[in-house]
Amino acid sequence: MPMRPRIPCSHPGCPELVPSGTKYCEKHKFQHPEENRSASSRGYGKKWQAARKQYLAAHPLCVECMKKGRYTKATDVDHIIPHRGDPKLFWDRDNWQALCHSCHSRKTGREDLHPEYKF
Average pLDDT along the chain: 88
Q: What is the pLDDT of residues 53-89, one digit of tens each?
A: 999 999 999 999 999 999 999 999 999 998 878 899 9
Residue 36 pLDDT > 70, yes or no? Answer: no
pTM: 0.69
Q: What is the pLDDT of residue 119?
A: 46
Q: What is the pLDDT of residues 89-102, one digit of tens each?
A: 999 999 999 999 99
Q: Give percent above pLDDT 70 in the chain.
A: 91
Distance CA(91)–CA(39), nearest Å, equals: 15
Which DSSP symbol is given to 13?
A: T
Strands 17-18 and 76-79: unpaired
